Amino acid sequence: MRRGVVVFLITTVVVLGFAVHHVWTLLMLLVVTGREDQISRAELPAPNSGAIIEQPQLIPKIIHQTYINDTVPDHWKGPQQSCLDLHPDYEYKLWTDKKSREFIAAEYPWFLETFDGYPYPIQRADSIRYFVLHHFGGIYIDLDDGCNRSLDPLLAYPAWVRRTNPTGISNDAMGSVPRHPFFLKAIDSLPEYNRRWILPYITVMGSTGPLYLSLIWIHYKNAKPQDMDRLRILFPDEYNNHPWSFFTHHLGNSWHNNDVKVIFWMAQHWVMITIIGFTMGFALLWCCYSTFVLQRQASANAGAKNRYAYSRIPFYRRISSKEFPLDDRHEV
């Protein structure tokens, strides 16, 4: 093989290795199922079963929700009320924008600058839920999630989140004891992930939203937490759609805009996008290589004008070795 080609292949491998290392956590999200941490339906007592009172209560009986102010819009009053009705013995905390900011300023002042600096309000609504779970413990529920049965059985686990399809976890219903190491990691990593991407949806997802929490989850799992620190996972069947499920989901992601369609399309076609990405990267590398190395050689080589034009095509020179006799190998 020509030395130039070897250099090109090595460069490609190094660059690819770097890229894969960079997106490794994202790639792991595609294969990690969380099955080993599943809260299985078999271990959950049925609604109204006498077995529920025999379970330990680790998570404090607090329900947290968030909204701009105290005036919850009519379309969310139904779901909100369903949770209040099923949990008369729980404390209820509605985190308005004003209360959230006061809470961060008082309890986590190191985060206030990041919190105030978020360009999208949903980033504040996302992040505040990790802080209140870390501080008070309890169960956070999105306003568009209604309750289908008492959440008491879920108080028996130190911390849980819910699994989403096709990959990752969501931040719309989560429970935790105060100061659980998973939520500690979730609040501690927020400043580091506070980056802006081109699409607002990616910025929100990746800096504070479900994608952010899923990446934290992968890192947390990789660190092999002790059994008592495990983050348990509620799977879709236990989340909604069945009589024994805990929640009812009401569509209402008011902040989603057109980026969502792009992201969902990308999620569905990720194999193709990965291949195109790597092909484009490969082509780009080759262009750089041919521009800076081959062209210089080509112009230095009298009478080899054709070669200039073709040098951008990978391996062209090997194929056309008749045209360019092997005795010019030493020049590369």
Ligand X SMILES: *[C@@H]1O[C@H](CO)[C@@H](O)[C@H](O)[C@H]1NC(C)=O
Comparison of 69 and 268: residue with beta carbon closer to ligand X: 69
Neighbours of 200 (CB within 10 A): 17
Strand intervals (E) in 96-217: 138-141, 145-147, 159-163, 169-176
Q: How far is the CB of 76 from ligand X (least distance, A)?
A: 12
User: Residues near 173 by Cβ (< 8 Å), separated by ≥ 6?
Assistant: 139, 140, 141, 142, 145, 161, 162, 234, 239, 246, 247
Among 20, 30, 68, 313, binds ligand X (CB under 6 A): 68
> For the purposes of burial, counting CB atoms within 10 Å of the CB of 226, is it exposed (0-12), middle (13-18) or buried (19 or more)?
exposed
Q: How far is the CB of 138 from ligand X (least distance, A)?
A: 24
Q: How far is the CB of 129 from ligand X (least distance, A)?
A: 19
> For the purposes of burial, counting CB atoms within 10 Å of the CB of 110, is it exposed (0-12), middle (13-18) or buried (19 or more)?
exposed
Comparison of 69 and 253: residue with beta carbon closer to ligand X: 69
Triad 96, 127, 122: Cα angle to 5°: 65
69 lines the binding site for ligand X (CB under 6 A): yes
74 lines the binding site for ligand X (CB under 6 A): no
Among 64-72, 113-121, 230-238, 247-255, the segment contacting ligand X (CB under 6 A): 64-72
Comparison of 69 and 241: residue with beta carbon closer to ligand X: 69
Among 21, 54, 71, 330, binds ligand X (CB under 6 A): 71
Q: How far is the CB of 66 from ligand X (least distance, A)?
A: 13
Comparison of 17 and 121: residue with beta carbon closer to ligand X: 121
DSSP code string of 29-59: HHH---GGGB--TTTSPPTT-GGGGGS---S
Comparison of 33 and 69: residue with beta carbon closer to ligand X: 69
- The closest residue (CB) to ligand X is 69
The site for ligand X (CB under 6 A) is made up of 68-69, 71
